[in-house]
Structure 1
Amino acid sequence: MGVRGLQGFVGSACPHTRTAVNFKELAELHRSQHPGCAPTVVVDAMCCLRYWYTPESWVCGGQWREYFAALRDFVTAFTTVGIKLVFFFDGMVEQGKRAVWVRRRLKNNQEIARIFHYIKSHGEQPGRNMFFLPSGLAIFTRFALKTLGQETLCSLQEADYEVASYGLQHNCLGILGEDTDYLIYDTCPYFSISELCLDSLDTVMLCREKLCESLELSLADLPLLACLLGNDTVPEGLFESFRFQCLSSYTSARKNSDKRGNVILAVADHISKVLRLHQGEKKLEEMLPLGQNKALFYKGVASYLLPGQTSPWIFQKPKGITTLGKQIVSVSTDPEFKPESLVCTHPESKEETPVCTHPETEQEDPMNMEPEMKQQVTMVSDTEILKVARAQHVQAESYLVYGVMTSGEIECSNTLEDALDQALPSQAFVYRPMRQRVYSLLLGAGGGGASGGPVVQEWFVHSGNPLRHPDLVRPLPMNVPGCWPGWCVSRHSSACARKEPLQSTDMMLEHVDPRAVQLGSLLVRGLSMLVLVNSACGFPWSSSDFMPWNVFDGKLFHEKYLQSERGYTAEVLVEQDRSRLTRFHDLKSIVCKACVREDRRIVSRQHWRPHHSGRWERQGSGSHRTNSGHSRSGRRQHWRDQGPGSRQREPDRWRRHSPSSGHPDEKEKQQPISLSP
């Protein structure tokens, strides 16, 4: 994220760029300088998720009620001193950033593998040094903030560009996040979320002007520096030899800088003393080893130009037109060139509080996008439908729908799934039939059979998927009479046992089970799929019915799982609550009947029994961990063997096979819950 090495460089070699500030004092100063304008902080929400998630337990699926309370405290701290917050979330992965997205997902897979190894070795949650965001946190944070009455927006392109544009156009108090790209954009001040003390509202401001002084550069030089160092648009390795040459000829290396810091200093020195010498006389590609990467490099520089801004380094028109997501930028030879099309799209604020706007920038109405939509090749041709879907996307009211309808492409990040547990399928496969029916609703099932109709490109992370290309998934007709798959989950969500946050916090788990960890994440991903279904159907349900802070508690779920493993009865698990017991049996009946229709066999695993030492041990341990899948032709095929290529039907059905029942005297006296029909 951001410019390679710049974060560490600023902290070690340029400490004077970091200034301690107080938001309350800044807000008072802003009000005195802009009477009638509410001081506004635009928040890069994706950078803040780690800061916001403060509950102790994270590996079990999330302590959602505690998390919601933490978000409420965050919002209250700012609104109490009269600061308005505007939250931005990533809404699309640009095609040019897909490789970066994939690289990060594969790295996350390695982190998840280490987490599960630790759990299996120690039987407990790893320390905060191995912290991984609970599955679905970003999705549900959007809805939590909207529930708290906050303006929450979803980007149509790279979120940091829209954050920087919003901050500039609305003359915001500043940007709150943790991304060095905000040091490169020429926008409002940038504040660090990691340095924020919520009680006092003290934090650190990172000053790009002071950074320029230290590097002997101008603000207009920073985009060039960022691309030469490497960022999310220009790969780091592209200019490795060039940076080495700069370092070799650099004579003012600082003793307090590491090698990376001296590389940054050397490149900045080359810009200020060599490139500027011929600026305006020579083409940039004559001074830099751009080669075949000329268009990519210009795209990288132009990506930092906000509405109304120009770059002195872009003066030669490359072949064709550089496309930036939804934006189209012509790189002109005209020195007065202004990328007028680089306009940030955002909805008008619904609040009556006046907001300052940039005097030189004309706002674009997000609803008035018909010309743009006609020029795009979309999966859905009806522009009116696209307008509605776009507005819902921008307002962070829907999930995945707009991507399906426009590009036919969606993605889902990592889930806490054990790649070595062959008994459990990935959530990518479990919920695919549900997604396929949503695709049918949005795009139509097509009339050409397996080879006809639309195809959706799914970038879903699962074990064994190298993410070299997307899974090609076709819609499936909605053949479930009376309801959709998943409706019963929403209908019976109130059957989940609940405790107040403090009670859950005090709960001590005997141990952490890796299978329960994955099941907790699977359940939360299922709730996010209900958000997709609700969005595609036009919001027939209240979203609060399947928000995790209303229906799920990770630690409590884990405790109930362990109790079930030991053979506790349903009455004990629902704490003798008759209404919950009735709902449980209703849901069990629905699940079992569905499995019979699908010819799927569900068998209870071997349960725990007390050992003479007083510890609980498994019966038949090990044998229950195996699972085989059966294709419709009867040939066995494990679900993990399904490659990421084109899939033209539902994934092969999988069954769980039970171990041998053993001797009768080994059975529990207290009958456990049975999922058999």
Structure 2
Amino acid sequence: MGVKGLQYFMDCCCPDVCVTVNLREMATQHVARSTATDNSTGPTLVVDGMACLRHWYSCKDWVCGGQWKEYMDILKNWVEVFTSAGIRLVFFFDGVVEEQKRQEWVKRRRRVNREISKIFSHMKAHGEQPGRELFCLPSGLATFTSFALRSLGQEVFCSVQEADYEIASYADEHSCMGILGQDSDFIIYDSAPYLSVAKLRINSLTTVLYDRQRFCRATGLAIFQLPLLACLLGNDVVSEERMQHIRNNAMATYRKNDPAPHSGAPQGQMVLAVSQLVRSLWASQAEDTDHILQSLNLSAPHRELLKRGIHSYSLPGQEVPQRGDISAYPASSAFEKYVSPEILKACREKHVAAEGFMVYTVVCEGLTECSNTLEDEEDTELLPQALVYKPCRQHIYGLLLGHDGSTIGTPAIREWFVYPGNPLKEPEMVQPLPLSLPCDRPSLDLLWFGTGPNVSALRLTSFLTIFDCQEFSDLYGTIEGSLLVALCLITYIILQVQTLSQEDVDAYLSQCVCLSIKSPQELQQIKLPFLSSRAVQLGSLYVRGLSHLLGANCASGCPLPNAALMPWHSFDGRLFHSKYLLAHSGTEKTVLLDNDSSCLSQFLHLRERLIETCRKRGRVLQYRPRPNAPEQSHKTTPGAGYKDGHTGGGEGWRERGDVTGGPRHGGGWRERGEDRRDCSEYENRERKWERGGHRRGMSGGQYFHPRSYPDCHSGGPQSTSHPPGQSRGRPYRSRGTYHLAPRWSQPPAPGT
């Protein structure tokens, strides 16, 4: 976001504008000024949360899906530094993408997609994540950060208009001491001082203040002229291309009037040239904006666009016509008739308070969107997350907008979801689907505002039905909420993604169970011999699923506390990656569960419930170990249960035209006629081991059995996914490759 070239100009071409400040001293001065003017407002910083994400997420691993426990510690320490200095923080996050900025949003999403392709190419070539030059934020970071900050007692807002505008409005209205962000639009707004988060030194609480008055002196402009400068340079409302001819003419005039050799970069010269043009257009401050724009010789549509861009910087009380009161309710839409006024009001309140997810834009605008996810566009075996969770979203839409249990006549929802193969030329129109509840569909008002045990049961049933996990209702209150959430999510993924194997499921489940016994420090010490691009994609798929669980929870009337849905309670990218590599190397369950009897017992219980639920729906998990070597992690090897060179998945989802992979949606391996041998005989044998056959006693009544897991395709062609001559025991390292050791070797210490 921001004005094209303006941040560079201030940082590199106009050093007088950049003033190093100490925020503790600023806070003290702010208190003194407030006392002198009888203004009791304490020192408050309005923080642009979106601009801070890259600075907050300093964890080593970023491709694996997020090191969420460590990230929570970083946020907590960051907040405490300001609190100890007596500075109050107010956070804002983007809540909508305004339609006038949609094309800019699309352009950025496409650019990030190209960077993601480079990330996967690097991982598959080197078995490690690339440097920070290709840094990509973990999926869902903005969504979960707002919940994290609220859990730390901070005031958090989610915008209903452009977030920059709401930040500047709040800072101006509440006489805040500054805006902490990294967006040159904040020098254009006539609001609180603009402070750089990129230049922030958290230990000393020093940063750079971009002085608006000094900027005006350097450019020869008045504050009221800055919005026109921003629009002619190019911003998110007026694209850079639209005003190219104006800038070219301005540059020619600038060089003609000042023929001396020009020093500095062209970006700096351009800002000065356009500033000179803006100065020449105004005879006085009172001159009408329309008259000014007429003199630019623009077409009528471009003139209107420029006028809209200028007015977008007008804060409440500063100029008419106003952009609009940010406290106003959204304009009526075709979707309002499907919900009550009370639901509309609650949707907006939840959204603004950063307590809801998805429901506001669906109910009020019939729209939802999702930014880039770490997905490999060359992997035709794994469905993109947008398609995996599409049935879930359709049921959420049906719950929100369905009338008397029917979605007939309900308009389709416009989805802007970024995934490989989607050109983003227009939104995808997705039809709501009704929930198949055992009772009549409850009204949304009853789910959201009703009381009593029956309503609580209805909320839970609605939530579980969205993910086709009604059988897990008896687990509510008997296991940790985060484990119930993980169980629902993993089950849903299995039903939708036919190429998911038993090893993948064991990796998902074991890391959820083991996460609770590990500190952030222990998680950081986990050693990964290499990175698997497939595991990276599965990690992002899981975290994206948690955000869908948030939407389902909100739509169902919040049967679960939001805390149970947070990733720091059920996911760590590095831990998951380590479990994935171990599971696919045939590691025994005792080692996979860190030799912890309690974790093993919990894992086996959840695993049994999951397998039983999936089998009822015709989904039988297969054992399908993957090659465990960095140079092979991205290759495919034909073998038993493999087809056309795609490991375990048959032809890719693009070739099949699959939208959802589960048996209920017609994309399963049965429909494709593939020969997949059932592992039920082996699984029955395994269950006997776990329930009493040939056990070795342990404390706490739990039992382990030391054995490796046989190939579930025994009796048929053997998988060739392991290099020739390699045994299938536990892993050891040799020549930098993750190989397999004899099973009598000592198990690794927990956390390695």
What TM-score does the superposition give when structure 2 sets the normalisation length?
Answer: 0.75
Correspondent of 2:382 among 411, 424, 438: 424
CA distance in 1, matches of 2:205, 2:103: 37
Q: 1:619 to 1:286 in 2, by over 3 A?
A: closer
Q: Does 1:168 align with 2:185?
A: no
- Give the Å deviation of 1:590: 4.3
SS in 1 for 2:414: strand
SS in 1 for 2:336: coil
| 8 Å contact kept, 1:307–1:339 | no
Residue type at the aligned position of 1:626: H
The residue that corresponds to 1:314 in the other structure is: none
CA distance in 1, matches of 2:466, 2:341: 29
- Equivalent positions of 1:501-520 (< 5 A) are 501-520=520-539
The residue that corresponds to 1:145 in the other structure is: 149
- Give the Å deviation of 1:440: 1.0
The residue that corresponds to 1:273 in the other structure is: 280
Q: Does 1:260 align with 2:261?
A: no
The residue that corresponds to 2:326 in the other structure is: 344
- Equivalent positions of 1:485-564 (< 5 A) are 485-486=466-467, 491=484, 493=486, 495-498=512-515, 499-564=518-583
Q: Does 1:621 align with 2:614?
A: no
Q: 1:597 to 1:168 in 2, by over 3 A?
A: same
| 8 Å contact kept, 2:157–2:352 | yes
Correspondent of 1:300 among 295, 309, 324: 309
Q: 1:171 to 1:49 in 2, by over 3 A?
A: same
Q: 1:387 to 1:670 in 2, by over 3 A?
A: same
SS in 1 for 2:19: strand
- Give the Å deviation of 1:504: 1.5
Correspondent of 1:283 among 291, 296, 301: 291
Q: 1:402 to 1:56 in 2, by over 3 A?
A: same
CA distance in 1, matches of 2:514, 2:648: 33
1:109-145 deviation per Cα after TM superposition (whole angstroms, max 9, x unaligned): 0110010011011101111222110111001101100
Q: 1:6 to 1:651 in 2, by over 3 A?
A: farther
Q: 1:640 to 1:5 in 2, by over 3 A?
A: farther
| 8 Å contact kept, 2:182–2:196 | yes
Q: 1:420 to 1:202 in 2, by over 3 A?
A: same
Q: Does 1:122 align with 2:131?
A: no
Q: 1:480 to 1:463 in 2, by over 3 A?
A: farther
- Equivalent positions of 1:369-388 (< 5 A) are 369=329, 378=336, 380-388=338-346
CA distance in 2, matches of 1:530, 1:173: 38
- Give the Å deviation of 1:436: 1.1
Q: Which deviates more, 225-234 or 469-478?
A: 469-478
The residue that corresponds to 1:61 in the other structure is: 65
| 8 Å contact kept, 2:160–2:326 | no
Stretches of structure 1 lacking an aligned partner (at least 5 in a row)? 311-337, 346-365, 631-635, 673-677
1:338-367 deviation per Cα after TM superposition (whole angstroms, max 9, x unaligned): 23563333xxxxxxxxxxxxxxxxxxxx6x
Q: Does 1:212 align with 2:216?
A: yes
Residue type at the aligned position of 2:118: R
Q: 1:178 to 1:622 in 2, by over 3 A?
A: farther
Cα RMSD (Å): 3.2
CA distance in 2, matches of 1:170, 1:542: 32
SS in 2 for 1:557: helix
- % identical equivalent positions: 41
Residue type at the aligned position of 2:306: F
| 8 Å contact kept, 2:359–2:551 | yes
CA distance in 2, matches of 1:500, 1:109: 34
SS in 2 for 1:43: strand
SS in 2 for 1:428: helix
SS in 2 for 1:269: helix
- Equivalent positions of 1:304-315 (< 5 A) are 304-310=313-319
Residue type at the aligned position of 2:292: L
Q: 1:627 to 1:121 in 2, by over 3 A?
A: closer
CA distance in 2, matches of 1:534, 1:441: 11
The residue that corresponds to 1:335 in the other structure is: none
- Give the Å deviation of 1:588: 3.3
Q: 1:20 to 1:232 in 2, by over 3 A?
A: same
The residue that corresponds to 2:501 in the other structure is: none
Stretches of structure 2 lacking an aligned partner (at least 5 in a row)? 439-460, 473-481, 488-511, 677-712, 732-752
SS in 2 for 1:34: helix
Correspondent of 1:236 among 240, 260, 270: 240
| 8 Å contact kept, 1:161–1:304 | yes
Q: Which deviates more, 475-484 or 511-520?
A: 475-484
Q: Which deviates more, 593-602 or 399-408?
A: 593-602
CA distance in 2, matches of 1:589, 1:663: 25
Q: Does 1:402 align with 2:360?
A: yes
* Structure whose alpha-carbon radius of gyration is higher: 2
1:193-249 deviation per Cα after TM superposition (whole angstroms, max 9, x unaligned): 000000010000001211111111000000001111110000111111111111111
| 8 Å contact kept, 2:549–2:565 | yes
Correspondent of 1:662 among 711, 718, 727: 718
Residue type at the aligned position of 2:377: A
Q: Does 1:42 align with 2:61?
A: no
CA distance in 2, matches of 1:619, 1:244: 51
The residue that corresponds to 1:462 in the other structure is: 419
Residue type at the aligned position of 1:243: R
- Give the Å deviation of 1:643: 10
The residue that corresponds to 2:140 in the other structure is: 136
Q: 1:480 to 1:517 in 2, by over 3 A?
A: farther
Q: Which deviates more, 288-297 or 558-567?
A: 288-297
Runs of 4+ in 1 over 6 A off after TM superposition: 445-449, 615-620, 627-630, 656-660, 663-668
Q: 1:256 to 1:654 in 2, by over 3 A?
A: farther
Residue type at the aligned position of 2:278: I
The residue that corresponds to 2:622 in the other structure is: 603
1:87-107 deviation per Cα after TM superposition (whole angstroms, max 9, x unaligned): 000001111111111111111
The residue that corresponds to 1:333 in the other structure is: none
Correspondent of 1:178 among 160, 166, 182: 182
| 8 Å contact kept, 2:416–2:428 | yes
Correspondent of 1:588 among 587, 590, 607: 607
Residue type at the aligned position of 1:500: S
SS in 2 for 1:305: coil
- Give the Å deviation of 1:493: 3.5
Correspondent of 1:475 among 432, 436, 446: 432
What is the aligned length?
A: 608
Residue type at the aligned position of 1:208: R
